[in-house]
Chains A and B, each alone.
Chain A
Amino acid sequence: MKKRKNKVSVSSAKRTGTDGSDVSPAPLDGQLSAKENFRAWLFRLCLLIMLLWSTRNFLDYGDLLRQLLGKPMIERGYIGSDEWRNFLARSGRIATQRAYASARTQIGEMLNQARHEGRDSVTLRINSRVVVARSVDDLPSDVAEGWRWVVEQQSKLPPDARVYLNVPSMQVYYYATSLWYPRDVDVNWRPTIIRDVNTFLKSFESVGPQQFNQLRMLGYTHIVVATSQGIQLRDLRDSKGGTQE
C-alpha cells in the first residue's frame, strides 16, 4: 500500500467511489522486482498450460457426444453409466481410473500377442463370464447392465406394483427403488434398515418358490429372480408366476 501512486483516502467504514461503486484495492503501479517479475511470468506460464490442457475437454466430450448421437435412450444411458467406455463415469474415482488404465494396458498387451498369432480379439473370463474383447470398451459393466435392466423393466410394471427383489444385488436395489418409484421394492417383508452394502446383505431375505404364496398374501405383485438367462422380473399374479426357474 505504501507504493500506491494514486493515493486513496477512504473512511474506515465505507470504501465507495463517487458514484457509489466499489473501489476495491487497486493493483499497485510501478516496476516489479526481478523476483516478482519471475513469479508473474511463471504464473502466466502455468495458466497458459492449464488453458491448453483444458482443450482436452473438447476431445473427451466431443467423442462422447459422437457416441451418443442418434442412439435410443436406453443405449445412451448404457454408454453413460459404462465406466469402461465413458470417462464421466470414472470421473473423480481414482481407484476406477487406475483399474481402467491397468485393464487397458493389459488388454493392449494381450491383443498385441493375439495379433502376432493372427487373431484380432482376446477371450477373457470376468466374474465367471466369458468376454471376447477387441478393446477395453468391450469389457462388460455391471453398473451399466443394472441401469439398463431396471429401465427396461419399468414399463412392464403397473403403477401399483409391489416388487420383491429376490436377488442380492445392491445395484438393482438402488436403481429399482428410485426408477420404479412409487412402486415398493423390498428385499425383506419385515421392516429393515438399509444404509449400505453391508446392511443390505444383512437385510436380504432369500425366498424359495414355496414362499411365493406368502409373498402374494403380503401384497407383492412381482418378484425379481436370478435365472440361468440372467435376472428376470416375474409377475406373481400369474398362475405360474415366479415358479419357473
Chain B
Amino acid sequence: MIIFRAWLALAVVEWIGVATLVLLCTDLRRWTFTAKLGVSFGLGLTVLTITLFLASLWGLRVVPSSGLVEGLILTVVAVVVRRDKIKSLLARRTVLLPQPDVPAWQRALTSVLTILLVILCGVVSATSLMEPLVEWDVVSSWSLKAEVLLREPVVISPYFKDTSKSYSNLEYPLLWPLAMAWIWSWTGAGDLETVKVLAPGLLFAFVFAFYGLLRHFHPKTNALLFTALLIGLPYFLSQTSRLMADPPLAYFVMTSFFFLYSWLNSHHPDDLRLGGFFVAAMLFTKSEGIMYFVTLFFIICAVWIWRGRDFRHCLSMTFWFLLVPATLTAAWFVFRTHNMNVAGEHSVYAGRLGPAVFFANFHRVPELLISSLYFFGSLNDWFLFWPILLVVLVSTVKHWIRPPLLFLFLACLLPLLLKWYVFTVTTLSVEELMETTMPRMLLQDAPLCVFFLAELSRSARMLQFPPSRGPAPEVEKG
C-alpha cells in the first residue's frame, strides 16, 4: 500500500508535467508521444519542486495537497487556454512524407533494440527498488535535506545555517531533495525504500525523452541505437539506480541544450519555452548547473554574433534561455546567499576563481589532465564511449566546425573546461578531487555527448539507413 502511494506521488509529477507541457506548447504534434511522456516528467519535477520551494519559503511544509492543488490549477488553466490543443497530446507526430519501405533486417534490429531497452530498464529498475537507500553521498547530502524539507519549511529550518552539517553541502540546490520529500509526503515518513521509485521514474523518463527527442531528427532505428548506447553505459545506469543527483542534472542539461539546438534549426517558439524551464531546473538541481548556465551564456553570445541581424529571434532566445531561468530560480539564490552569509560558510571555490590563482596553480594542470584520462578511459564505467567520441570528433571536424553543430560541440566542451578550471584553482588534492568529482562531471555531460554523436553521425552520414521522414520538402522563401 505504501509503495502504491509512492507510485501515485510519481504519477502526480507526470500529471503536473503534462499540464505544463500543454500550457507551454502551441503545437504538440511536433513531438512523438514518447518525447511528450519523457519531457513531461522533467517539466513536472521542475514546476513541482520550484513551487514547493516557494511554498516552503512562505512557511508551508511539503504536503501532498500542495502538488494536487497545483496540478488541478494547471489542468484547469490548460483546459481553458488550450482546449483545442489537448487532443494533439495523444496524436502522432506529423510525418512530412510517407515512410519508405523499411528492410526486414532493419525492422528486426528495431525489435531487438526495443526488447534490449525494455528488459535492461526493467532489470535495473527492479534492482534499484530492491536495494534501499545506501549510497553514501545520497544519504549524507540529498536525503538529509529531504528529511529536513519534509519536517519543516526552509524559512524556519535551522539546518541551512548549521555548520556542524556543512559536510552535507548546505548550499546545494533543492530540486532532488524536494522530489524525495514529495514522495515521502505521500508515504507518510522518510524511509529508505519507497523513495527509490524516483530511480525507475527518472530512468524511464530519460529513455522516453532521449529517444523521443532524437526521433525529431533521426529515423526510428538510429534513435533506438543511440538511446541503447546511452542507456547501456554502466556509470549512467549505476548512478541513476542509486538515486544520485547527477542523472537528473544530466537529464536537464541534455533537454536544455537539445531545445536550444532544436530552436536554432526551427525557430519554433515552443522550443524556447521548454528550454527555458529546463535551464531553470538545471540551476535548481546541482551547483554545477551554474557552469552549464555560463556555457549557455557564451553560446547565446555566439548565436548573437552568428545571427545578430535576426534581432527579434535573438532577443527571444536571450529572454527564454537566460532571463526566465534566472527569474524562476532567483528566490533560491537569494535564500542560499543569505544562509551562507549567516552561517559564515563560503564555497571552497569562492574568491579563488580569478586568473591570478589559476596561473599560480597552473602546475596542477598536467596532473589533472593525466588523471582525467584514467576516467575517460575507464572501461568498467564507460566501455569505449569517450575514445569513440574523440575519434569521431577528430574525423568529422569539417562537419561540426560550422553552426549549429558547433554550438552542440561547445555545449559539450565548455562545461568540461570550466570544471577543469575550477579543479585547478581549488585547494583540494588532485587525487581526491578526481576520485569524487571527475566521473560525475563526465556523467553530467554524457547524454548531451551521445546526442552530439548522433547528430555528427547524421551530418557525416555514418549511419545512413533509409530515413523514416524522407528528404526535406521544398519550402518557399517567406
Contacts and interface: CB of A to CB of B under 8 A. Distances in A.
B310 A12 contact: yes
B267 A57 contact: no
Of the listed residues A16, A88, A97, the one surrounded by the most CB atoms of chain B closer than 10 A to its CB is: A88
Nearest to B405: A25
B461 to A, nearest CB: 6
B461 A32 contact: yes
Contact of A13 (B190, B228, B267, B460): B267
Interface stretch (A130-138, A178-186, A222-230): A178-186
A20 interface: yes
Contacts of A212: none
Nearest to B97: A17
B167 A77 contact: no
B134 A29 contact: no
A88 B239 CA distance: 8
Interface residues of B, number: 95
A21 B192 contact: no
B351 interface: no
A73 interface: yes
B163 A191 contact: yes
Interface of A: 5-29, 32, 36, 39-40, 43-44, 46-47, 49-51, 53-58, 60-62, 64-65, 68-69, 73, 76-77, 79-81, 87-95, 97, 143, 147, 151, 174-175, 177-179, 181-182, 186, 191-196, 199-200, 203
Contacts of A200: 167
B216 interface: yes
B460 to A, nearest CB: 7
Of the listed residues B136, B148, B431, the one surrounded by the most CB atoms of chain A closer than 10 A to its CB is: B136
Contacts of B29: 21
A163 to B, nearest CB: 13
B361 interface: no
A94 B474 contact: no
Contacts of A29: 471
Contacts of B267: 13-16
B134 A8 contact: no
Contacts of A53: 232, 383-384
B471 A6 contact: yes
Interface string B401-445: 000000000000000000000000000000100010001100100
Contact of B225 (A19, A47, A68): A47
A16 B471 contact: no
B96 A194 contact: no
Given A43-B463, A174-B167, A193-B164, A91 B134 contact: no
Contact of A10 (B231, B435, B475): B475
9 contacts: A25-B265, A27-B459, A76-B131, A81-B135, A88-B238, A92-B235, A94-B439, A181-B190, A194-B164
Given A13-B267, A22-B262, A91-B239, A76 B130 contact: yes
Contacts of A77: 131-134, 192
B287 interface: no
A141 B5 CA distance: 34
A91 B123 contact: no
B473 A18 contact: yes
B471 A92 contact: no
A65 to B, nearest CB: 5
Contacts of A49: 384
B139 A179 contact: yes
A128 B357 CA distance: 44
A29 B461 CA distance: 9
B238 A91 contact: yes
B435 A93 contact: yes
A195 to B, nearest CB: 5
A46 B388 contact: yes
A80 B378 contact: no
B367 interface: no
B147 A26 contact: no
A23 B155 CA distance: 48
A185 to B, nearest CB: 9
A194 B166 contact: yes
Nearest to A186: B164
Given A51-B228, A54-B228, A16 B268 contact: yes
B467 to A, nearest CB: 6
A205 to B, nearest CB: 12
B383 A50 contact: yes
B467 A26 contact: yes
Nearest to A39: B395
B177 to A, nearest CB: 11
Interface string B153-180: 0000000000111111000000000000
B100 to A, nearest CB: 13
Contact of B473 (A12, A23, A89): A23
B298 to A, nearest CB: 23
Interface string B105-147: 0000000010010011001101100111111100110011001
Of the listed residues B134, B241, B378, B381, the one surrounded by the most CB atoms of chain A closer than 10 A to its CB is: B134
Contacts of B460: 36, 39-40
Given A23-B473, A57-B237, A81 B134 contact: yes
A53 B228 CA distance: 11
A62 B467 contact: no
A26 B383 CA distance: 30
Given A14-B266, A43-B457, A92-B238, A191 B164 contact: yes
Contacts of B126: 65
Nearest to A92: B439
Contacts of A65: 123, 126-127, 130
A43 B164 contact: no
Of the listed residues B190, B216, B439, B475, the one surrounded by the most CB atoms of chain A closer than 10 A to its CB is: B475
A157 B471 CA distance: 68
A58 B123 contact: yes
B15 to A, nearest CB: 27
Contacts of A179: 139, 192
B229 interface: yes
A25 B268 CA distance: 15
Given A91-B439, A174-B140, 12 more contacts: A6-B474, A16-B267, A21-B30, A21-B96, A27-B459, A29-B471, A50-B383, A57-B123, A80-B132, A90-B380, A179-B139, A182-B151
